[in-house]
Structure 1
């Protein structure tokens, strides 16, 4: 059995609780110590995971014998906490969205280069997603023909529950609204499938709910390959995560139903048949994704030296597209993304 990695963790309630579940499931981690502003969450981490509670993040950084820091706090804290951890010589696992400004992304990348620490960002591990890897294979094998364009949508109604004072309603801490919170997952997936995004145009709507962040975002994305397509992100509507890819031979339709409701992923292909009915034919594909994939990769990157995935650069690229989209929406101009990271 692999020797467990001794880690400290900041943010152990809410999504941090879910992250603790994935770490526990792998059997690869020992949460030695933890800090959270919520005493109930901290007590639960101590009871379930044996994590010794401390009274501040500064104290957490001083815990002896730890190899890494797991950061499952709100996005507004990520940069400061990750920089401090790397400076202390710790490897870092940090949730998405990575950070709220381009300057923060550059500071994180510079610190990683300086310290040579492993940093993994908590996006989905698409290499363990059977659906995403099979779609990537179909594209690479030319089975769809030339991919002409795509449409992607990601949505849920959580934005309607944002209360005054919540960081998700603050445009400085949550730029782009849903595009920042969950759209960064979609952007990470799109770049896994199609490569780097180089130009962005967008429009955003702010008047559906009472927050100051975008309720609806529509983006036109141009890739380095010349591919263009659209991404829609909304946090004021029922759940949806879908991807339609339109090829010269076949089109592909993927609908990820919410696992909370017991539905699985649906994939169908539609073949071009001139003069005949062009029906949607279900494509048998195992559903699901290894939700432990990112933390497994973190362990392997630290212990075995494998390439980190999703890497700090992957996380930075996703939020850089969000920043470009918000700029495009505000200025009404297409924004070229500066990839000098």
Structure 2
């Protein structure tokens, strides 16, 4: 099988904890370059993986042998660097949120089409076993009509694991553009779209900065979402859950309630209307805390999509749809009105 030659652009925590390790573990991949503006950081990573270090991404994109790149940069650089990589003939795996505007997202999608390259957004929640099982149960009709949901993704904040702590780009509006909603809320938006199998059409939100006085982005958000068939529910995204991570989703259906990642022992609990309860042990969810699963499966899926020339599960269009919900939530907070989602 062909060996895919990859570069990782940005060597902060997400690259170190996910991308680099997972690329390195894939037998069909060779990491040929790593890049970061912090020379000490990139040299350390290059030494660890026995590869070449760069401090300018444009130099990386000039290397012809590179087939694909991971873009693990601050949010405001996702679109320009991804587009430059696609224009240079590289496949791109971009961290979320894919962009800071719909215009940027469209430009990324267009660049991928024009250059006939794969563009995948690193929404990893679709690869969690409990989430995949829940989708199958919903698709099969076993849960019946879906009435409502509630989903949360929260932890103590990026300062606890980001490479730069409280000085991290995560807290700077000009680099992050959006806080907990972009970091965590967009993941849950993507998951809910995947589970329900339909799009959201309307959102109302409260998006605040309440726990990080040093930040100029949101750290605590609650949204009410309505889908095209009329399913309503809540999504919470927070950096204010100081006692531990919450990554749970509950789906309320006609015949059953699905509790996902809501119990320390069972990753999926199905509570049927007739009183029957089925507990599934499906392995731990990916997490920045101890005990999370060791692989996100995102990297392997990206590699497989390239080698087998198939469209990745979360392509640019999918990434854009999840971004649209987040942008509409921001608009709702600003206007104090419901926002329509295109």
What range describes the TM-score normalised by the shorter chain of this pair?
0.7 to 0.9
The answer (yes or no) to whether the contact 2:7–2:31 under 8 Å persists in 1 is yes
* Aligned match of 2:205: 202
Stretches of structure 2 lacking an aligned partner (at least 5 in a row) = 286-292
- Retained in 2: the 8 A contact 1:266–1:282? no
Counterpart for residue 268 of structure 2? 267
Q: Equivalent residue of 2:202, what SS? A: strand
Which residue does the alignment assign to 2:290? none
Counterpart Cα distance in 2 of 1:111 and 1:232:
33
Paired with 1:4 and 1:22, the residues of 2 have a C-alpha distance of 15
Structure 2 match to 1:188: 190
Q: Where does residue 243 of structure 1 map in the other structure?
A: 249
Runs of 4+ deviating beyond 3 Å: 159-166, 171-176, 263-266
Residue of structure 2 aligned with 1:319, choices 314, 323, 334: 323
Deviation string for 1:98-125 (max 9, x for gaps)?
1122221122122222222111111116
How far apart, in 2, do the equivalents of 1:179 and 1:208 lie?
14
CA drift of 1:175 comes to 4.2
| 2:121 is equivalent to residue 121 of structure 1 | yes
Offset at residue 163 of structure 1 (A): 6.8
1:284 to 260, 280, 284: 280
The answer as to whether partners of 1:163 and 1:169 remain within 8 angstroms in 2 is: no
- Partner secondary structure for residue 283 of structure 1: strand
Q: Is the 8 A contact 2:184 2:238 kept in 1?
A: no
Deviation at 1:219, TM superposition (A): 0.8
Counterpart-to-counterpart distance in 2, 1:249 and 1:308: 32
RMSD in angstroms over aligned alpha carbons?
2.3
Q: 1:15 to 1:296 in 2, by over 3 A?
A: same
TM-superposition CA deviations, 1:225-264 (whole Å, max 9, x none): 221111011111131011111112221222257xxxxx55
Q: Any residues of structure 2 matched to 1:220-235 within 5 Å, and which?
A: 220-235=224-239
Q: What are the superposed Cα offsets for residues 113-166 of structure 1, whole Å, 9 maximum, x if unpaired?
A: 22221111111162x432112111211222222211011111101157697753
- Specify which of 258, 261, 264 is matched with residue 255 of structure 1: 261
Gaps of 5+ in 1: 258-262
Q: How many residues align?
A: 326
Contact 2:193 2:199 in 1 (8 A): yes
Change (3 A) 1:232 1:148: same
Q: TM-score, normalised by structure 2?
A: 0.87
- Determine the C-alpha separation between the residues in 1 that align with 2:309 and 2:87: 20
State the Cα distance separating 1:315 from its structure 2 match. Answer: 1.7
Report the alpha carbon displacement of residue 199 of structure 1 after superposing the two structures with TM. 1.4
- The equivalent of 1:133 in structure 2 is 132
Change in 2 beyond 3 A, CA 1:269/1:308:
closer
1:64 aligns to what? 64
TM-score norm. by structure 1 comes to 0.88
3-state SS of paired residue (1:241): coil
Query: More deviation in 233-242 or 138-147?
Result: 138-147
Question: Does structure 1 conserve the Cα–Cα contact (< 8 Å) formed by 2:42 and 2:55?
Answer: no
User: Kindly tell me: are residues 326 and 172 of structure 1, through their superposed partners in 2, closer, same or farther at Cα, counting changes over 3 Å?
Assistant: farther
d(CA) in 2 for partners of 1:292, 1:214: 26
The higher radius of gyration belongs to 1
CA distance in 1, matches of 2:125, 2:252: 24
Question: 1:32–1:130: structure 2 CA closer, same or farther, 3 Å change rule?
Answer: same
